[in-house]
Structure 1
Amino acid sequence: MTSKKEEAARLAAAALDPAIMSRPERRTPRIAMNRVTDFTGELEKVERDLNEARRRLALHDGARPTRKLSPELVKASKFANRIERSFEGPSFEAFKQEILSAGGNVQPIKVRRIGPENYEVVFGHRRHRACLELGLQVLAMIQEDMSDKDLFEEMSRENEQRKDLSAYELAMHYRRGIDLKLYRNWSEIAAVLGKTKSLMSRYSALAGLPDTVVNAFRSPSDIQPKWAEKLRQVIDVDSAAVMSAAKAVAGKSLSPKRVYEALINRSAPEFTRVNFSFGTWHETEKKATIDIDKTTLGPEKLESLRLFLASLQPESSPG
C-alpha cells in the first residue's frame, strides 16, 4: 500500500499540475462471448425456419383451406415422378399402416381442379395412393386455375425437399416436361429450375437409359446419376454387348454396384463395333473396316467419303 508520505507528495504534485493526477481507469464491459455465439446461432436458426415457412407457404399460395375428397375423384398427374415400385413392398405397406392408424393423411396433398368434381395431384402421390387403397378420404388443398407449367415447376420444387425420391424418378419427371412439350430441352429446364447444366446432363443420361439396362437393377432407384453417363457411353459403343450383359444379370441378387460393373467392364474386343445410321464400324487390333449402306448415305456423301479417304493416303515417295 502507498505510504502516507507518498500519498501527500502525490497530492501536492497534483495541486501544482492537475495532469499528473491519475485518471480512474475505464474498463470496457466484458461480455460472455459464448452467450453472444449462442444468441447468433439462435437468430440464424430462426431465420432458416422462417425461410422454410415462407417456402412452404408459397407452395400453398392460392389454395383453398383443406378439405377431404374421395380419392377416386383425384387422378395422378401426367407429370408424376413416382415409379410403380414406389407403391409396392414393405416400405409402402408401412406407410399405409401409418395413414390407417391416423385415420387418413395428416399432411394434406395438393391438387388442382380439372372439372366440377375432378382433380389432379400436384404433389402427394404416395399419400393419395395409400388413401385410395385403404378406402379412406384424402385430405387435400385445392388449387384453382393452375397451368401445366405452374404444376410442373411447383412439383419440381416440392420434390427437392423430399429425401425418399430417387434420382431416376427425378430424371423421368424432368423428361416428361420435355416429352409433353412444356420445355424445348434439358437446358431450358435447368434455367427455369436453377440447376446446373452438368447436373441436368446426368439426369438426361439417366432418363435415356434403355429399359433392358434399367431392369438389370433390382430397382431403378438403385442407379446412381454418376453411373448414367458411363452407361450411355458403353451403350453407344456396343449396344448389343451391353444388352446381353444386362439380360444376364437381371433378376440376380447382385448389389447395384456389381450390376453396374458387369455392364461396363467388358473386354476390349467386345467394344470394337460401332453402329451408325448408315453402316457399321468394325475394328480389330490390326484392322478397321466399315460396312456402308449406300442407299442411306447417298451419292454426294459417298463421294465426300471417298475424297476424305484419299486425303489420308501418304504422298508417294519421290523417285
Structure 2
Amino acid sequence: MAIAGQGVIMSKLSEKFAAGKKALAERQSAEAKDSTSPPSSFARAAGPLHGSVSTMKIDLLKAEIDALKAAKPVMKIHPSEIKASAWVNRHQDSFEVPEFAAFKAEIESAAGNIQPIKVRPLKSADTSGGAKYEIVFGHRRHRACLELGIEVNVIVDDIDEKTMFVEMDRENRERADLRPFEQGLMYARALDSGLFSSLRKLSEEIGADPTNISKAVSLARLPEPILDSFESRLDIQYRWASDLKAALEKEPELILARAADIKKQRSSGNHLSSQSAFNLLVGKVSSSSKPVARKVTVGKRVLTITERDKMITYEFDTLGREKLSKIEKFIASVMAE
C-alpha cells in the first residue's frame, strides 16, 4: 500500500504559502518605514505591488492547504485486498459487455484509475478471506484493475453501514450508468436486511423519488423465469415495471407459460430481443412481429396455441362432434366472464 502524490502537492503549496507570508511581511515593514514621508506624485493606487502576493492570494492558498489536509489521502492498494460490498449492485452481465471492455482499456492506457474508488476498512472478524477493505463505491473500476493486475487508487474512510449505502447510491445515480435491475437489486437487499425500515425511509435517506424506487424494487423481485426471458437483465426498463406487475397479478400462469415459451424459442435458435420478450410477456405483440406459437401435449394429442397481435388461434387434431361442442361451450363461457 502506498500513498499517491498528494504529499508533494501539499509541500509545494506550503512553500508558496510561506513565501507569500514573507513577501507580505517585508512589504508591510517597508510601508511602515515610509509612512512619515510625503507620498510621491507617482505613487501607485493602494493595492499589491507587481510580483508580490496579496492577502487575498495568501488566504486562497491557506484555504487550499486546509482542504487538502481535511481530505482523505489517495492510496494505492492491490485489488485482491479489497472485496465487493454486501450491497454490490453490479450484475455479472455488466462485466461482459463491450462497454466494460472499453472502460478497462481506458484504465490500462492511463496506467490506473484516474478517479479513485472509495473503500472502508474491514473489521478483523471479516478478514478471513484475506481482504482488508470493502468497496463503498467503484465496483467497475476495482474489477477492471483486478483483471489488469494493477494497483487501484483508493480513498479509505471508516464509515458505518447506512452511510456506506447512501454514499454508494448517490455516487451511482450521479454517474447514471447503473441499470434499473441493478438499482432495484440494491434497494431490495437493503429493505430485506432491515437496513431501512420501509421504502419511505429509504427514499428519505437517499433523497430519491419513492415511485422510482418502488419500480426498481418490483423489477428486481420479478420471478426468475420472467427475468430469464430477457436477453440480459440489464435491458429491463423502468417503464416496463407497471405492465409486468399488472400482468403477473392478473394472469400469473399465462405469463409464466409465455416466459417458458420464450426460453424454448431462444434455445431453438430463434433470436428475440428484450423488447420483443417484454411485448410477448404482456401481450403487446405488434403486427410486424412473427406469430408466437406454443404447444401443449395431452397424451398423443397436441394443441398448438398461436398468438399474433390481439388474436389467439387454437389448433388440434380432428375431434368428434361431441368434444368440439364441449370446447365451444367452454370457450363461450370464458368469453362471457
Q: State the TM-score, normalized to the length of structure 1.
A: 0.62
- Does the Cα contact within 8 Å between 2:93 and 2:234 map onto a contact in 1? no
Number of the residue aligned with 1:65: 73
Deviation at 1:75, TM superposition (A): 0.2
Q: Determine whether 1:261 maps to 2:275.
A: no
Q: Distance in 1 between matches of 2:198 and 2:259?
A: 29
| 2:117 pairs with one of 109, 112, 118 | 109
| 2:137 pairs with one of 119, 123, 135 | 123
Number of the residue aligned with 2:166: 153
Query: Aligned runs of 1:1-319 on 2, under 5 Å?
Result: 64-115=72-123, 118-144=132-158, 146-250=159-263, 251=266, 252-265=270-283, 284-286=334-336
Q: For residues 171-199 of structure 1, what are the alpha-carbon distances to aligned partners after superposition, in whole Å with 9 as ceiling and x for unaligned?
A: 11111111221012212211222233322
Residue 65 to residue 136, structure 1, CA distance change in 2 (3 Å): same
Q: For residues 55-105 of structure 1, what are the alpha-carbon distances to aligned partners after superposition, in whole Å with 9 as ceiling and x for unaligned?
A: xxx9x9976201110111100001111101111132222222211222221
Q: Distance in 1 between matches of 2:108 and 2:94?
A: 18
- Does the Cα contact within 8 Å between 2:77 and 2:153 map onto a contact in 1? yes
- The residue identity in structure 1 corresponding to 2:152 is V
Number of residue pairs matched?
A: 216
Residue 61 to residue 200, structure 1, CA distance change in 2 (3 Å): farther
Residue 62 to residue 128, structure 1, CA distance change in 2 (3 Å): farther
- The residue identity in structure 1 corresponding to 2:335 is E
Number of the residue aligned with 1:10: none
Deviation at 1:269, TM superposition (A): 11
After TM superposition, the structure 1 stretch with the greater mean CA deviation from structure 2, 248-257 or 201-210, is: 248-257
- Does the Cα contact within 8 Å between 1:63 and 1:143 map onto a contact in 2? no
**Seq. identity, %:** 37
3-state DSSP class of the match of 2:271?
Answer: coil
3-state DSSP class of the match of 2:122?
Answer: strand
Q: Distance in 1 between matches of 2:206 and 2:69?
A: 19
* RMSD of aligned residue pairs (Cα, Å): 2.6
Q: For residues 223-266 of structure 1, what are the alpha-carbon distances to aligned partners after superposition, in whole Å with 9 as ceiling and x for unaligned?
A: 11121121111112222221221122233432332211100118
- The residue identity in structure 2 corresponding to 1:131 is C
Q: Distance in 1 between matches of 2:192 and 2:219?
A: 15
Q: For residues 109-156 of structure 1, what are the alpha-carbon distances to aligned partners after superposition, in whole Å with 9 as ceiling and x for unaligned?
A: 000011477000001001101111111111100002x11100000111
Q: For residues 279-301 of structure 1, what are the alpha-carbon distances to aligned partners after superposition, in whole Å with 9 as ceiling and x for unaligned?
A: xxxx82346xxxxxxxxxxxxxx
3-state DSSP class of the match of 1:130?
Answer: helix
Residue 269 to residue 235, structure 1, CA distance change in 2 (3 Å): farther
3-state DSSP class of the match of 2:102?
Answer: helix
Q: For residues 8-27 of structure 1, what are the alpha-carbon distances to aligned partners after superposition, in whole Å with 9 as ceiling and x for unaligned?
A: xxxxxxxxxxxxxxxxxxxx
After TM superposition, the structure 1 stretch with the greater mean CA deviation from structure 2, 151-160 or 219-228, is: 219-228
- Does the Cα contact within 8 Å between 1:131 and 1:138 map onto a contact in 2? yes
3-state DSSP class of the match of 2:134?
Answer: strand
Q: State the TM-score, normalized to the length of structure 2.
A: 0.59
Q: Distance in 1 between matches of 2:92 and 2:71?
A: 28
Q: Distance in 2 between matches of 1:152 and 1:137?
A: 24
Q: Distance in 1 between matches of 2:123 and 2:213?
A: 35
- The residue identity in structure 2 corresponding to 1:70 is H
- Does the Cα contact within 8 Å between 2:226 and 2:256 map onto a contact in 1? yes
Gaps of 5+ in 2: 1-66, 125-130, 285-306, 313-332
Q: Distance in 1 between matches of 2:139 and 2:100?
A: 12
Q: Distance in 1 between matches of 2:240 and 2:207?
A: 23
